[in-house]
A and B are shown apart, each in its own frame.
Chain A
Amino acid sequence: MSRLLRASTLIGQPVVTLQGESPLEIKDVVFDTGEGAILGFTLRNHGFLGGPVRRGLAWGDVHGLGPDAVVITDASVLSTDNAPATSGGDVIGDRVITQGGTDLGEVVEVVVSTGADADVVGFEIKPSESFGGRGDHNIFIPLPDTMAISGENVIVPDNAADYVRDDLTGFGGAVDDFRAQLGEDS
């Protein structure tokens, strides 16, 4: 498992070409609420007052996703044609519910793996009281490759609760173990 990041930390990161130019920066992360995947990014000009632009970056055009930059092969992939629809909705605030019907908590952050094959691997959630919630202490829950997501709820397998971690350190291993477990079951 590669290094993990909270998706919101990508906001403001430079989009850098392999030629070393940075035409724009990340304005927002666009999720596909149907698939639980990241569709891509909306973009803005550099700087605090940088205005939004119509051009977007599709997830499939990302060459490398790291903690310091989103790398693309060249600026031609930044086109209005590729702009992800911003009406895709937001998983932040969704309830995470197991297939068995337990409410685990509320999504506060999306966790992505970095590198050349970046992926949504988990959620940071504010745990429900029934799931040991103590108010201010968030937990991390791994996600399967595909899951059902609506504008209100995310459905996860029952055993996802067994792979919860308190922080991002070691969470990558928990995701790997969880997904390996799912693979054996199916």
Chain B
Amino acid sequence: MRWTAILGHSVVDTKTAETVGTIDALVADPDASQVVAFLVAGRAVSWSDAGGIGSDALTLSDGNREGDLLHPPSSDLELRAVAGAGDPLGKRVITELGHEIGSIEDLEVDAETGAIGQLILADDQIKGSRLIGIGSFAVMISSPSRARTGDADGADADADGLDSLSRAELYELAQERDVVGRSSMSKEELIEALS
């Protein structure tokens, strides 16, 4: 489900059938690449308490009383979201090696788990697992070389690792290494040039 589609969802208490508010903001934990809570009318409800989100509404159910689930924002991430600092929408995306690659148009969020599967840019999609930070200036993502090899230089990774990257990620690597003629290369040509 898209992040922007979740915003504005009604929050309904299934015990009383009353609408208690709408989702004003999502609270994301960039380290875990996960939506962990929602803000509803100045209060917070954690994803684990909500137990997932429906296609049209967030239901608080199973005997849990509204008063228990909706709490004053307390965690660092929730407080940042209240201040508006944790909102990724529209933010520029910068890799940890200092390349700006676009801005966030939307995010794909797993409706059951809250896992952020993809960051959606105008003409690119980035794996949610590459998320490092969501700040007031930028959304930070790991370099494809580091994400793949897990070490600092990553320059000696084998070609098998390259096969698993998208063309956009390969292009990022080609930018980092200043591969001449990269913009006109196919995915196969990029793998060849980077191997």
* B-binding residues in A (CB < 8 A): 1-4, 14, 16-22, 63-71, 114-117, 169-170, 172
- The answer to whether B135 and A116 touch across the interface, beta carbons within 8 angstroms, is no
On whether the beta carbons of B100 and A3 are closer than 8 Å, the reply is: no
B133 touches A18 (CB 8 A): yes
**Chain A's interface: helix, strand, loop or mixed, by majority?**
loop
User: Could you tell me if B138 and A66 are in contact, using CB atoms closer than 8 angstroms?
Assistant: no
B160 at the A interface (CB under 8 A): no
Q: Mark B61-97, 1 if CB is under 8 A from A, else 0.
A: 0000000000000000000000000000001001111
Q: Is the CB of A69 within 8 A of B98?
A: yes
Max count, chain A CB within 10 A of own CB: residue among B140, B143, B180: B140
Residue from B30, B91, B97 in contact with A71 in the complex, judged by beta carbons closer than 8 Å: B97
Interface size of B in residues (CB-CB distance below 8 Å): 27
Which of B's residues lie within 8 Å of A, judged by CB? 30, 91, 94-100, 132-140, 143, 146, 152-153, 175-178, 180
Chain A residue numbers with a CB within 8 Å of B152 are 116
A114 and B139 contacting across the interface, CB-CB below 8 Å: no
B137's contact among A2, A21, A116, by CB below 8 Å, is which? A21
User: Are A71 and B96 in touch, CB under 8 angstroms?
Assistant: yes
Give chain A residues whose Cβ lies under 8 Å from the Cβ of B132: 18-20
B31 to chain A, nearest CB (A): 10
Using CB atoms, name the residue of chain A closest to B132: A18
Q: Chain A residues near B135 (CB, 8 Å)? A: 16-17, 19-22
User: In the complex the two chains form, is A20's CB within 8 Å of B98's CB?
Assistant: no
Quote the shortest CB–CB distance from A170 to chain B (angstroms).
Answer: 7
Give the complex CA separation of A13 and B187 in angstroms.
Answer: 31
Measured CB to CB, the closest approach of chain A to B82, in angstroms, equals 17
A21 to B87, CA, bound (A): 12
Instruction: State whether B140 touches A16 (Cβ < 8 A).
Output: yes
> When the two chains form their complex, are residues B177 and A3 in contact, meaning their CB atoms are under 8 A apart?
yes
The answer to whether B100 touches A68 (Cβ under 8 A) is yes
